[in-house]
Amino acid sequence: MPDDFKIPPSRRTDEKALRDAIRTIGSILSSHGDAGTGARFAVPGKTVKVMADLATNAWKAKTKMIDSSSGEARDEMKRVYRHIEAMFENFKEIGLEIKDHTGDAFDYGLPLAVVAAQPTQGISTERVIETLKPTIYWQERMIQMGEVIIATPSSIGKPYE
């Protein structure tokens, strides 16, 4: 990439501006090699961190728009939610995968940071009960480790063996 390449500052702050920025990043990255053929190229660490931060913030916004009982976008969020979904499509286009672990079985060998463990009666194996920060992959490489809260089997009321 030429040293004089600069993205002009934007004064737009709407969803379209964010989608445009994601597309610009994707086109810059794809112009340096085809990720599908295994080609790799140097990308500044700050760029990778910003990509992970953009994806994390979009994920946080998306989770706040969803009704926990139905799994659908809340009525008052439906107009904005479609823009968030479009952002997730843009993320896929540039090779970003955002993994929410909530509800997954947990294994201590997984690359996840456990922030808290909550003893829970009635379960026999550990499960992720809340994702605090999603795991982010870019071109199949982890660029952000997820942070989770897990439920662990409770020993309350069990006799000692």
pTM of the shown model: 0.69
The CA-atom distances, in angstroms, between 102 and each of 28, 86, 126, 131, 149 are 33, 22, 12, 5, 9
Residue 125 has pLDDT above 80, yes or no: yes
pLDDT score of 158: 53
> Which of 101, 76, 77, 98 minimizes the C-alpha distance to 87?
98
- Domain ranges for the chain: 15-153
60-104 confidence digits (pLDDT tens): 999 999 998 898 999 999 999 999 999 999 999 999 999 999 999
CATH architecture of 15-153: Roll (2.30)
